[in-house]
Amino acid sequence: MPAPIKTPMKSPLLLLAPMEGLLDATLRDVLTRTGGLDRCVSEFIRITDTLLPERAFVRVVPELLRGGLTRGGVPVRPQLLGSDPGCLAENAARLAGLSPFGVDLNFGCPARTVNRSRGGAVLLDEPELIGRIVAAVRRAVPDHLPVSAKMRLGYDDDRVAEDCALAIAEAGAQELVIHARTKAHGYRPPAYWDRIAQVRGVLPPALRVVANGEIWSVDDARRCIEVSGCDALMIGRGMVTDPGLALAIRGQGGVPWSQISPLLSAFWTQVCGRVERRHRAGRLKQWLNYLRRRYPEAQVAFDALRESNDPDAISAWLGLPHLPIPVLEAEIAAAC
């Protein structure tokens, strides 16, 4: 019996996820060179009780020095994290002065240290506060600047997922990313895409809902769209593992290792220009650890470099010259 013919999926809006400690400016720079992505969201900028200087935003989102675009021409939307509506609004207004592609708000980070300081997913138990935060930021930035948010289904459970999403919508957000797990679920599969569909059902049609979680392949993307009903996806670890995933979802094929290898060198060059010497090897091995799930050549590289923490030896293995000391702080100081 012949295999069923799969109906081509309508090309969705594709966003690159923020991932603290992994998917930062350096990695999103090289990943957006492969094509297929429409926009990125930065890792969070923590807001406490202080109005941050411009250089604090630029440090996390250096793309602000290039018109808000990665070198591949993909827009980056900075993300703020905090719990004080007034302070978040004040910082959002300052960020708006740097002409970002909108302002995103984090209600999804599951990290214990972040939650203990009343940031991220812990706020999902307080829908009213979430609404006040979004409303304050919406009022603080120009009307033309989009305000978006990212949330999980809840903290310990998903009982108030609809309440949180409605609070975000009613406060004036234009877009909502829903990571289809609670904080308690962490990153364990599965992702509950059906709950995204249920939450979408109570929201106004004008609010774009983006589905996020466990999208590792084209088939995952297809099923997520079918189950969630969303026409937009956010991909994170799947894109880190397979930099050609966005192109593949669009039906344009994947990215062979012959194109990944130069990206690895570009990544390492930037790491050596931005990261203290003792931390550089760890960053490269972290990405190789993901890549080896998809590429046998990455396994070879991982095995060869596993025991090395010497940046010069790694540069030599990659066929690169000795690379520079960190320069990002100097770039930021000169620009701000």
Would you name the residues annotated as active-site residues?
Answer: 109
The DSSP 8-state label assigned to residue 188 in this structure reads -
Interatomic CA distance for residues 169 and 149, integer angstroms: 10
Beta strands in the chain (DSSP E): 13-16, 39-46, 76-81, 103-107, 147-152, 175-179, 208-212, 232-235
Q: Which residues contact 12 (CB under 8 A, 6 or more apart)?
A: 221, 225, 230, 231, 232, 233, 249
Record the tokens describing residue 90, joined without a space: 């004040």
Question: Do β-strands 103-107 and 76-81 pair in parallel, antiparallel, or remain unpaired?
Answer: parallel
- CB 107 within 8 Å of CB 149: yes
- Taking a C-beta distance cutoff of 8 angstroms, is the pair 267, 26 a contact? yes
CA distance 243 to 260: 8
Helix/strand number for the chain, H first, E second = 15, 8
Positions of E strands within 153-205: 175-179
Q: DSSP string covering 294-316, please?
A: T-HHHHHHHHHHTT---HHHHHH
The single-letter code of the amino acid at 73 is G
CA gap 9, 159 in Å, rounded: 32
Euclidean distance between CA atoms 111 and 48, whole angstroms: 16
CA-based torsion, 302, 239, 19, 280: positive or negative: positive
